[in-house]
A and B are shown apart, each in its own frame.
Chain A
Amino acid sequence: MHSNIDEARPRRLADGAGTGEAKVTTYRQARRRERRFGYLLSFPALLGLFMFLVLPFLMAVVLSFSDQRLLSPNQAEWVGLRNYDRLLSVSWLVQEAERSELGEVVRTAEGEPEFPALRTLLRGDPAYREYREFTSWQWGEKRYVLLAKDPRFIQSFLNTLLFVMLVVPLQCGLALGLALLINRQLRGISVFRAIFFSPVVTSIVVVSIVWTFLYHRDVGVLNHYLQALTFGLVGPIDWLGDPDWAMPSIVIMSAWQACGVQMLIFLAGLQGISQDLYEAAELDGAGRWSQFWNITLPGLRNTLVFVILSTTVQAFGLFTQVDVMTGGGPQGSTSTVMFHAVAKGFREQDIAYGSAVSVVFFLVILLIALLQKKFFDAREAK
């Protein structure tokens, strides 16, 4: 490389340009060469990124506009936006209660007005042919029905959002708490660090199976403790079998399993805060609590932003726990977008539809991550 620079110099001089300018030019050339060298060296890594991240994603985008199957002798065809239409279409309709010939509202034994069978209605009307009920409300003698072409996707999407909203604060809070606990010079503290970190290095499948035992309605340890501690007033709770409890159960287990990673990051952040600040605060008479609010938290700002962003993105990918512990049930209450994509794309072999789910989901996560970042940046600017 050095010899190259020497070669360039006489040519430049022959051009009659000033020495100073020549030096700048050769410096620039060297920089350019260095950059080229940089590209050359990063090429293997970039190739890997392209092959295993960019290319599959681009293929997913392409596939999502076709009707490609996992296995099929039929030639794949372009179907335009069909997969996206099936995924995202929502609609609504209002049903009138059924009336007898005399114009009176027909009522069931319980006195509720009766409505015509929705499915017959939907299947009979070409405009509503592919729609199915997502949810409905009854208001007097009318029934308002929210329809979707893929109600499972909408439900899965809402479930995923719920999971993220519950797990991110819990997991980050737990991680911060643990980090504060073990951020001290004690004999044997590394043992505690290892213990707190151990769930992370255990296979998530194994952890899920073990927690299925703990959560069992009749023989699970959790219910035993719960009943013993409350003298039988609370429970037994059907943790994984009750639609209201299944998602919180998975949230608790996931936060416990994964918080070790965030704990380590927080620990690194904590150790980056100068001890002088604490000493000064102590001299000023600041208590523990006020030290935490005024020194620790501001000192962890960047760490906190990183941890929240990465935990959020990671939480959106919830799949294994659901697959092992509940299979998406009970009644779809733990089905997540990833679970839906795998069920459609692989188990039902509709890889094009599965791709469409992934593409939509990618865009949503990207949007949320960008919004989060903007929010934190705006706070920093303040």
Chain B
Amino acid sequence: MQKSVPGRRFGMSMTTLSLGMSVALSMVAATAHADPQRIEYWRTEASQAEIESQQAAIDRFNQSQPRWRVEMSRLPAGSYTEAMTAAALAGDLPCVMYIDQPVAPNFAWSEFLRPLDGLVPAETLAPLLETAKATYGGEIYAAGQNEEVLVLYGRRSVLEEHGIRIATLDHPWSQAEFLAALEALKQGGDFLYPLDIQAGWTGDEWYSYAFGPWLLSFGGDQIDRGNYLYAEGVLNGEEVLAWGEFFQGLFEAGYVDRNPSDNRGFDQGRVALNYVGSWELRNHLDAWGDDLVVMPVPDFGHGTTIGGGSWQLGISTQCDAPEGAAAFVDFMLQPAEIAEAARARITVPSHPQAAALTEDFREGGRWRFFYDYAEAHARLRPATPGYPTISSAFERAARDIRDGRDVQEALDEAVDAIERDIADNRGYGFHE
């Protein structure tokens, strides 16, 4: 299984080298009017619609100016982060890369990403949703066109039949109301398991993305965000303990299937409520049409909270044309482009003006709820290079809790793993 990693890092020398090269190249560009300079852009493979819309945007950029020509490469989504890691170590990163927000701080700390401040105009970055910007150490390293929003999908007819109130952004369910609703649905007898929270998903850090925000709503967190050094007393504190008991209870009471064999339960009517992201909106609409209702996650005491941060654009330190890369990122983050992307595939725009430009997400639009929810209640995952370990340790703990392990024990183990990792990495650039 060993993936060979060169013994020494050469990030610094590469930076100097690429800086030198960019100076030399811009001098060449100034003296001779050569062909437009090639800017490599990597992204994950995706649906036909998404790729076509993005290619159209790139064509518009290439035609809008003569200096740069962006070329897109698509990599398999499953191994995308591994491929980027390998490319980074080999010094083969592209100029612009599509990067998942929680991964960005790790790449920034490792000096593979350039800060966008100073490269991309501040007036482009400022109006974006907070969660559409990946930060580390106070600087922005990546920004995205869209946001994914986690919601509770339900069916109006089913909820009304069981006498359950439809939750709204202003009045989300409380924990007690949530449990009462689940009990009513379970007792109704139509649903073996009333709620689906995708408990069987492995990898892709679903657990941390989906349930980390519940900790915040309970008043806890995965790590002390004041210093990013300690998790003791936070991840195994009283509030998270309460979350753990609640989470375990969902499975013990039979409200949630511990290991659903597929995620089509809601579409097929086997499940009454589905906790999943805005990316499922289209499927759910196809299945239920006007009967579909979209509700916020329950308020567990400290407000309804969901995870933010989707795939974003970053500029690598191995790029020999940062200016061109920045021009491209700037272009992609303009409201018109964001609105275009949002239209092409139902996805939540990350810019208020872009939202206003789309039929579905403007004020009063059909899916405005998603934008409002993201703007008001989305919180970023801990913005630290140590996040991969936090995510992995938290997922292990949450799975163990799901399977009946003592909550305190499971959380203590996660805290130990996270704190040891931070100490091993000399604080990941954070200090007391």
Contacts and interface: CB of A to CB of B under 8 A. Distances in A.
B233 to A, nearest CB: 12
Interface in B1-17: 1-5, 7-9, 11
Contacts of A62: 7
Interface stretch (B33-41, B56-64, B165-173, B399-407): B399-407
A338 interface: yes
Nearest to B205: A347
A362 to B, nearest CB: 10
A328 B259 CA distance: 13
Given A119-B412, A219-B261, A331-B404, A343 B392 contact: yes
Interface of B: 1-5, 7-9, 11, 82, 85, 88-89, 106-107, 109-112, 192, 200, 202-203, 257-259, 261-262, 385, 388-389, 391-393, 395-396, 399-400, 402-405, 412-413, 416-417, 420-421, 424-426
- Closest A-B pairs by Cβ, 5 of them: A330-B403, A60-B2, A327-B202, A347-B392, A71-B110
A240 interface: yes
A147 to B, nearest CB: 13
A57 B392 CA distance: 26
A294 to B, nearest CB: 44
A138 B395 CA distance: 30
A350 B424 contact: yes
Counting chain B CB atoms within 10 Å of each CB, the highest count among A55, A71, A328, A349 belongs to: A71
A351 B1 CA distance: 11
Contacts of A75: 8-9
B11 A73 contact: yes
A218 B260 CA distance: 10
Interface in A282-300: none
Contacts of B420: 130
A130 B421 CA distance: 12
A76 interface: yes
Given A62-B7, A348-B389, A354-B2, 8 more contacts: A56-B4, A63-B7, A75-B8, A130-B420, A212-B200, A327-B399, A346-B3, A348-B388
A355 interface: yes
Contacts of A55: 4
Contacts of B404: 330-331
Contact of B258 (A220, A241, A324, A349): A241
Contact of B202 (A132, A324, A346): A324
B403 A348 contact: no
Contact of A218 (B192, B200, B399, B416): B192
A75 B11 CA distance: 10
Given A76-B7, A329-B399, A349 B389 contact: yes
A349 B2 contact: no
A319 B85 CA distance: 22
A8 interface: no
Given A71-B85, A324-B202, A240 B111 contact: no
Contacts of B3: 346, 351
Given A132-B413, A216-B261, A243-B403, A59 B4 contact: yes
A358 interface: yes
Interface in A316-346: 319, 323-324, 327-332, 338, 341-343, 345-346
30 contacts: A56-B4, A59-B5, A60-B2, A63-B5, A63-B7, A67-B424, A70-B85, A71-B88, A71-B89, A71-B107, A71-B110, A74-B425, A119-B412, A132-B413, A212-B200, A213-B262, A218-B192, A238-B258, A319-B1, A327-B395, A330-B402, A343-B396, A346-B3, A347-B391, A348-B388, A348-B421, A349-B106, A349-B388, A350-B389, A351-B3
A69 interface: yes
A342 to B, nearest CB: 6
Q: Interface size for chain A: under 10, 10 to 19, 20 to 34, or 35 or more residues?
A: 35 or more
Contacts of B395: 327
A27 B25 CA distance: 64
A312 interface: no
A171 interface: no
Nearest to A216: B261
Contacts of B400: 329-332
Contacts of A60: 2
A95 to B, nearest CB: 16
Nearest to B408: A119
A72 B403 CA distance: 34
Contacts of B393: 348
B5 A351 contact: yes
Nearest to B110: A71
A323 B135 CA distance: 31
Interface in A205-219: 212-213, 216-219
Contact of A240 (B2, B259, B413): B259
A311 interface: no
A223 interface: no
A156 interface: no
Contact of A73 (B4, B110, B258, B389): B110
A91 to B, nearest CB: 16
Interface string A207-237: 0000011001111100000000000000000
Counting chain B CB atoms within 10 Å of each CB, the highest count among A68, A75, A327 belongs to: A327
B145 to A, nearest CB: 25
Contacts of B426: 74
B2 A347 contact: no
A323 B202 contact: yes
Contacts of A220: 261
Contacts of A218: 192, 257
Contacts of A212: 200, 259, 261
Contacts of B399: 327-330
Nearest to A319: B1
B413 A71 contact: no
Given A56-B4, A119-B412, A73 B261 contact: no
A69 B403 contact: no
Contact of B421 (A329, A350, A351): A350
Given A57-B2, A132-B413, A329 B403 contact: yes
A71 B106 contact: yes
Given A73-B9, A243-B403, A332-B400, A338 B111 contact: no
Contacts of A69: 425
B261 A213 contact: yes
A218 B271 CA distance: 14
Given A341-B1, A358-B2, A331 B405 contact: yes
A350 to B, nearest CB: 7
A358 B1 contact: yes
A355 B2 contact: yes
B392 A68 contact: no
Nearest to A52: B4
Interface in A15-65: 55-57, 59-60, 62-63
A236 to B, nearest CB: 12
Given A68-B7, A73-B110, A75-B9, A241 B403 contact: yes
